[in-house]
Amino acid sequence: MDTVLDLGFAGLAGYALGYTIKRLMHFLFVLFGLYVLSLLWLESKGIITVEWKNLLHVFGGMFSGFNSFTQSILKKLAFSGTFAMGFFLGFKS
């Protein structure tokens, strides 16, 4: 019975984390879009000069870091299969 409860908890925790990360990513993408639009506007007015190659390099590293973070979390959990399934379901909903 304890194993069933542990698996259920891992699935529920995975679902909650997946759903939360999905919502957080939506919010961060909106902020990132506003940031890029503000840079484009300031550059069009001649206020700043943006080195777009450097900016893409910086943000590309952030996204690869997020990928490795999620992979390390899933590998370290005891019931990672159930957690991963719950995470996937939460992320998809």
Single pTM value for the model: 0.55
Residue 12: pLDDT over 70:
yes
Residue 67: pLDDT over 90:
no
Q: Are 3 and 79 in contact (CB under 8 A)?
A: no
Q: Are 19 and 91 in contact (CB under 8 A)?
A: yes
Residue 5: pLDDT over 70:
no
Classify 38 in phi/psi space as left (phi over 0), alpha (psi -120 to 50) or beta: alpha
| Opening angle at CA 92, ends 70 and 90, nearest 5 | 65
**Tens of pLDDT, residues 14-61:** 888 888 988 998 898 899 889 888 988 999 999 999 888 888 787 777
